[in-house]
Structure 1
Amino acid sequence: MQSTSPKNPMETAKRPNLAGATALVPKLNINALTPAETEEVVENAGVAKTRLTDGRAFVSAMLAGAFIGFGALFFLIVTSDPAMTWGPKRFVGGLAFCMGLVLVLCCGAELFTGNSLMVSDLAARKVTLRQMLRNWIIVWFGNLAGALLLVLLVALAGTMGLADGAVGDLAVATAAAKVTPDWGTLFVRGILCNVLVCLAVRIGFAARSVSDKVLGILLPISGFVAMGFEHCVANMFFLPMGLTAKLLGFGAEVAGAGSLDVLAIAYNLSAATLGNILGGSLFVALAYWYLNAKRSSKQA
């Protein structure tokens, strides 16, 4: 299936020079890519992901796990203020969490939830199921390794003790709140979360500049955080950080803290991961592939 490349942001235009001759000069296009152009960029990026070596994919995924962890830590810091009311606290915390995806999209890293968009490559027969699953497995564990490394460094830095221990208490409370709902609820929250995350990633691909990327992802990402949806990579930081804070003596009076352990972390991650896969793959990747895929007249 032959495809055409999206328009180059630096188009050319003919303009006469001082000598009267016609010369080609760059013409800046500030418009975002169209949905069809974005789809092609997304699919090309998915193909490129399958060409990464295992080592590069894993290290890039570690960076993404740490980046999202920084966003999660920023969330804990700004929402530990007890003077803030619930609504503004969720909104401000969501904006702070956006730092994680800003780092991923602008600095470049492999994020498992965003890689759900590779299903559009599978539908377009640009990658095989084996290639896609290989990338997903490597990136998932790489994200986990990066998040856990950050948890260790944050614990050693004494960050949980900030605000007279309010940050550590909130870390325990946040983690406990994520392991107490039933599995089905966490699964549906994972679906809803990655719909917004993958839409934010598509906005990032459609953007022409860094400022476009940053502004475009603010509302979808802050929205899913404020709504309490479940992001498996964020939880790779939130949950181990909460357990570590609990072991350090924080959150002793937090309701549900007693249920926070390694099995509870695995319980949440299983639901959030599967929900994230379904949400990003079905409701974003396949939907936009169906809308924008180039087909022959018979297929149409």
Structure 2
Amino acid sequence: MSDPLNAALLTPAQMAQAAEDAAYAKATGRPLKSFLLGLTAGAYIAIGFVFFVTSQVGADELAWGFAKVLGGIVFSTGLVLVVLTGAELFTSSTLTLTARASGRITWGQLLRNWLVVFVANFLGALTIVGLIYVAGTWHNADGQWGKVVLDVSSAKLDHTFVEAFALGILCNLMVCLAVWAAYSGRTTTDKILAVTLPIALFVATGFEHSVANMFVIPLGILISDTAGASFWTDANINASSYSGLTWQSFFVDNLLPVTLGNIVGGGVMIGVMYWTIFHHLDRPGRSRT
């Protein structure tokens, strides 16, 4: 006899349970497994950003909104790969707060998982940075590919701390909603559709994703620091325009506030919120008033 849960979409309450079970499995699993899955997730998000950058070369000739939505849709390839392959992404790993709220894991297990996945995501993203740089992809279209990277990176470092924090919250609201919705899917198509539009929304609107930034900003810094005179001439841009691209600015002005915002947006505003609705408030014996 077939299992009805394998034949139909999960209900919201079942999705909440599936998310908590997945969070528990991540936090109690072997750290090496989380590390290796984290490497792949960081690489997949970076690959999604490579697709985004390519889509934006010459896109200034399109309507602004259309160009951004196009970029958002192609970027979603990264999270689709994460979801379909079971990779571990820091932003969605913030949902382990659901398992902590239920008392199924300790704070130590939660923080260990976050640290392992965060570091692995960074190393995975930097791997793609190195490959893209060595491959010379940033020279494509007479340097316009690299110019998109530089422009996007510079814009991300122009936010105030509070702005970056708020943009991080908004981003991971959408990322964790996408992952949460994907738990309802029973087929590959279901999961792709659940993920694509929320991710396209956050990218198109300019929200901030810590792992995506681990790729694009380091690549922007690398190009800014090492590009020869021919690159700047071919791309018809001034190197001094990107003097603000520094490692200190990346870590302090972007990665720190965005990461904190991602934790609040995904872990608290999605994970803890739905845990409260479908676990805490639905416990047997609780008042329905």
TM-score by length of 2: 0.91
Identity of aligned residues (%): 37
| Residue 124 of structure 1: aligned partner | 102
User: Which structure is larger by alpha-carbon Rg, 1 or 2?
Assistant: 1
More helix by share: 2
* Distance in structure 2 (CA, Å) of the matches to 1:295 and 1:48: 22
1:142-188, Cα deviation, whole Å (9 max, x unpaired): 00000001100011111101111111011011000001111110000
| Selected match of 2:3 from 2, 11, 15 | 11
Q: Which has the higher contact order (CA 8 A, sep 6+)?
A: 2
Taking the TM superposition and a 5 Å limit, the aligned residue runs for 1:1-300 are 10-11=2-3, 29=7, 31-81=8-58, 82-249=60-227, 252-253=237-238, 256-267=241-252, 268-293=254-279, 294-298=282-286
| Letter of the 1:11 counterpart | D
* Cα distance change of structure 1 residues 72 and 28 upon mapping to structure 2, 3 Å threshold: closer
| Residue 17 of structure 1: aligned partner | none
* Distance in structure 2 (CA, Å) of the matches to 1:181 and 1:133: 28
Structure 1: segments with no counterpart, 5+ residues = 1-7, 13-26
| Letter of the 2:3 counterpart | E
Please say if residues 42 and 89 of structure 2, whose CA atoms lie closer than 8 Å, have aligned partners that are also in contact.
yes
* Distance in structure 2 (CA, Å) of the matches to 1:169 and 1:103: 27
Please say if residues 189 and 275 of structure 1, whose CA atoms lie closer than 8 Å, have aligned partners that are also in contact.
yes
* Distance in structure 2 (CA, Å) of the matches to 1:145 and 1:225: 22
| Letter of the 1:101 counterpart | L
Q: State the Cα distance separating 1:11 from its structure 2 match.
A: 2.4
Please say if residues 28 and 105 of structure 2, whose CA atoms lie closer than 8 Å, have aligned partners that are also in contact.
no
1:112-155, Cα deviation, whole Å (9 max, x unpaired): 00011111111111111111111000100000000001100011
Please say if residues 169 and 245 of structure 1, whose CA atoms lie closer than 8 Å, have aligned partners that are also in contact.
no
RMSD of aligned Cα (Å):
1.8
| Letter of the 1:122 counterpart | R
* Cα distance change of structure 1 residues 255 and 71 upon mapping to structure 2, 3 Å threshold: farther
Farther off after superposition, 250-259 or 234-243? 250-259
* Cα distance change of structure 1 residues 193 and 86 upon mapping to structure 2, 3 Å threshold: same
Q: Which runs of 4+ in 1 moved over 4 A?
A: none
Please say if residues 172 and 254 of structure 1, whose CA atoms lie closer than 8 Å, have aligned partners that are also in contact.
no
Structure 2: segments with no counterpart, 5+ residues = none
